[in-house]
């Protein structure tokens, strides 16, 4: 344990590596924080613990958690967090800019002593915040971090909606004429077969999660991980897995069969989700449309998402080179 000054009033922070004995403390803080989501709880983070060497840190002040840093290590690099879409400091409503500056210096010095040469930091996008929570972005700037990736996500703001394009409205009408219906389902295996076939055909790739993993996670987080399918004559022809948080409904996976594509099934699904299921949530996030850290934009994919009235927010990645840091 190492202690350094926490602020000008001479309070001190303790930095403790995460261990399983602190799971409840961690999860309770995530649930009450101003910027974290369920994917930063240990039951989600640890489903792939065999693939990532956990190097998460807990910051205490006067015996109470002040902030968390979900992190994984690979060689001489730390990532917050390599197994997650975003990570970065998890903060309470009481977190201040001065304190987060101190905490950032604390974890930089801690990792330098551990032989780390680079820290890769993926802040939680602002749409997930329940209060303003960009103290860490200022701390990154102050510590010479460089922006290394910027992926564009397409997001609908329910406070100010943009009308669907005619091509999306046409797809909805086509699906209705074809007798397509939309409902929530727990049949992840059928959707995974459809998704895996599409990813393999288009990219020679597989889903990040296996069918068993996503089923296990959905059972642990039933209100957060939800599958919606489009059906014709009882057969699933399209679907999307939604990660739901208090402020965002995020499309984690989207896929359709050839019949689903030709019948406008995805248009019908998204119309149902945007205008009915998640109409009261602040943001509907279709996810990113990039490759190569944002340097390549899939224009046809983002055109489809923008057709529902979605507009851009960024999922960023920053790098702190400890060899350059003073």
Model pLDDT for residues 1-48, shown as the tens digit of each residue: 343 333 333 358 999 999 999 999 999 999 999 999 999 999 999 988
Q: How much is the pLDDT for 221?
A: 98
Q: How far is Cα 58 from Cα 89, in angstroms, rounded to an integer?
A: 10
Q: How much is the pLDDT for 203?
A: 76
Angle at 213 between CA 85 and CA 225, to 5 degrees: 60
Identify whether the C-beta of residue 13 lies closer than 8 Å to the C-beta of residue 102.
yes
Q: How far is Cα 180 from Cα 272, in angstroms, rounded to an integer?
A: 12
In three-state secondary structure terms, 197 is helix
In three-state secondary structure terms, 229 is strand
Question: Per DSSP, what are the bridge partners of residue 202?
Answer: none
Q: Which regions in the chain score pLDDT beneath 70?
A: 1-11, 325-326
**% helix / strand / coil in the chain, to the nearest 5?**
35, 30, 35
**Which secondary structure element, helix H or strand E, spans residue 74, and what is its range?**
strand 72-74
CATH code of the domain made up of 2-143 = 3.40.630.30
Q: How far is Cα 111 from Cα 72, in angstroms, rounded to an integer?
A: 11
* Phi (first) and psi of residue 271, to 5 degrees: -60, -45
Q: How much is the pLDDT for 80?
A: 95
CA–CA distances in Å: residue 78 to residues 70, 115, 118, 125:
10, 10, 6, 20
Identify whether the C-beta of residue 118 lies closer than 8 Å to the C-beta of residue 76.
yes
- Could you state, in order of their start, the residue ranges of all structural domains in the chain? 2-143, 155-315
Q: How much is the pLDDT for 1?
A: 38
pTM of the shown model: 0.92
Q: How much is the pLDDT for 200?
A: 83
* Phi (first) and psi of residue 137, to 5 degrees: -65, -40
- The DSSP output letter for 246 is S
Q: Which of 275, 264, 270, 272 is nearest to 287 (CA)?
A: 270
- The DSSP output letter for 123 is P
Q: Between β-strands 235-244 and 90-91, what pairing exists: parallel, antiparallel or unpaired?
A: unpaired
Q: Between β-strands 248-256 and 283-288, what pairing exists: parallel, antiparallel or unpaired?
A: parallel
Q: How much is the pLDDT for 205?
A: 81
The tens digit of pLDDT for each residue in 287-297 reads 999 999 999 99
CATH topology of domain 155-315: Aminopeptidase (3.40.630)
* Phi (first) and psi of residue 227, to 5 degrees: -110, 130
Q: How is 126-144 classified by DSSP, letter by letter?
A: GGG-SS---HHHHHHHHTT
Burial string for 111-129 (b: 16+ CB within 10 Å, else e) reads beeeebbbbbbbbbbebbb
Q: How much is the pLDDT for 326?
A: 56
**Which secondary structure element, helix H or strand E, spans residue 320, and what is its range?**
strand 311-321
């Amino acid at each position: 344990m190492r202690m350094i000054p926490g602020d000008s009033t001479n309070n001190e922070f303790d930095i403790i590596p995460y261990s399983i004995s602190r799971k409840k403390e961690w999860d309770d803080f995530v649930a009450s924080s101003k910027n974290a989501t369920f994917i930063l709880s240990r039951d989600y983070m640890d489903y792939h613990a065999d693939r990532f060497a956990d190097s998460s840190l807990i910051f205490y002040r006067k015996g109470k958690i002040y902030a968390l840093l979900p992190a994984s290590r690979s060689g001489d690099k730390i990532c917050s967090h390599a197994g997650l879409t975003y990570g970065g400091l998890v903060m309470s409503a009481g977190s201040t800019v001065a304190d987060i500056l101190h905490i950032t210096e604390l974890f930089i010095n801690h990792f330098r002593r551990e032989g780390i040469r680079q820290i890769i930091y993926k802040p939680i996008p602002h749409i997930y915040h329940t209060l303003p929570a960009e103290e860490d972005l200022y701390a990154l700037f102050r510590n010479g971090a460089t922006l290394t990736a910027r992926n564009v996500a397409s997001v609908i703001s329910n406070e100010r909606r943009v009308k669907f394009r005619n091509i999306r409205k046409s797809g909805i009408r086509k699906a209705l004429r074809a007798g397509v219906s939309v409902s929530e389902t727990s049949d992840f295996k059928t959707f995974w077969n459809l998704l895996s076939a599409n990813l393999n055909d288009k990219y020679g790739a597989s889903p990040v999660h296996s069918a068993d993993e996503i089923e296990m996670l959905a059972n642990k987080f039933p209100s957060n991980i939800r599958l919606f399918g489009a059906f014709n004559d009882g057969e699933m022809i399209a679907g999307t897995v939604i990660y739901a948080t208090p402020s965002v409904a995020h499309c984690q996976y989207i896929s359709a069969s050839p019949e689903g594509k030709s019948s406008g099934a995805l248009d019908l699904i998204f119309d149902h989700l945007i205008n009915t299921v998640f109409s009261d949530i602040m943001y509907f996030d279709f996810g990113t449309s990039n490759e190569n850290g944002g340097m390549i934009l899939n224009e046809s994919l983002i055109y489809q998402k923008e057709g529902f009235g979605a507009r851009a927010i960024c999922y960023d990645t920053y790098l702190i080179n400890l060899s350059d840091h003073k």
